[in-house]
Amino acid sequence: MSPLKDYPIEMRPREKMIRLGSGALSDSELLAILIGTGSAAQSALELAQELLKEGGMRFLAQAGVEDLTDDFFGMGKAKACQIKAAVELGKRISASDLAGNPVVRTPQEAAKLVLGDMSHLDREQFRVMNLNTRNQVLAVDIVSIGSLTSSPVHPREVFKMPLKRSAASVILFHNHPSGDTKPSDADVEVTLRLKEAGRILGIEVLDHLIIGYNIFLSMKENGFF
């Protein structure tokens, strides 16, 4: 296999980024830049393609350093750490969107604030977004983390932080690690119970979003409550 320096210049990821910008690169080309150098057996681009075949960007988000170094020839700890550092920076950039109390008026605006993080979780997680009377985000709190398929929630835990923060309303989120956003019967039941609890407490439940892999479903928009 040829090293990247033997590729035509227009095919080399780093030179392509300089000429056209990072948005012009494919996932494997961006990953190849992080990897830097390949091995005698394969180029950095070929190693990047092999990594992505394992499960795409979601695999990179969920894999540990040991998963990368143990399962892929030519992937040393330094390269694995560079990849994990880049993934973590991406998550933190996404989380930084909450700075400055952004205003949320639509499910799309709410989903944008959590998709970058929740899309890649390998266990079901339940979160609550706290909003003030002007629909500004006060905070997003993790309520519970479950097994691979479930995350038990109780009204007491869901409304604990919204009460402390004097939230006027909340938006609920939980992810489906399978990627399927279709609500289960239990999802619908829990949502209706939490909406009623919120009514009693004076905190309106505006919506419940189910997060898949870079997609979401609004239970309100789809008529589930």
* pLDDT tens column, 12-51: 888 888 988 888 889 899 999 998 887 777 888 888 898 8
Q: Which two tokens stand for residue 220?
A: 């309100």
* Residue 202: partners with Cβ closer than 8 Å, 6 or more residues away: none
Q: Which of 41, 18, 36, 16 is nearest to 26 (CA)?
A: 16
- Whether residues 18 and 72 fall in one domain: yes
What pLDDT shows up at residue 37? 80
> What is the arithmetic mean of pLDDT over 86-113?
83
113-132 pLDDT per residue, tens = 999 889 988 889 999 999 99
Do 43 and 114 lie in one domain? The reply is no
Res. 181: pLDDT tops 90: yes
User: What is the domain count for the chain?
Assistant: 2
Residue 176 shares a structural domain with residue 124: yes
Judge if 61 and 117 occupy the same domain: no
87 and 114 belong to one structural domain: no
- Based on the fold, state whether residues 107 and 213 are members of the same structural domain: yes
Top pLDDT among 161 and 60 is at 161
Q: For position 155, what pLDDT does the model report?
A: 94
On whether both 34 and 108 belong to a single domain, the answer is no
Question: Which pLDDT value is given to residue 6?
Answer: 61
Q: What CATH number did the domain enclosing 179 receive? A: 3.40.140.10
Whether the pLDDT of residue 89 is over 80: the answer is yes
Q: What is the pLDDT of residue 7?
A: 62
Q: Does 117 share its domain with 144?
A: yes
pLDDT tens, 46-65? Answer: 888 988 888 788 788 888 89
For residue 193, what pLDDT is reported?
95
Together in a domain, 115 and 213: yes
- 97, β-bridge pairs: none
Reported as a pLDDT band with limits 50, 70 and 90, residue 107 is: very high
66 and 169 part of one domain: no
Last residue of a domain, one of 95, 130, 151: 95
Does residue 2 surpass a pLDDT of 60?
Answer: no
With a cut of 80, say whether residue 8 has pLDDT above it: no
| Domain limits for position 153 | 100-218
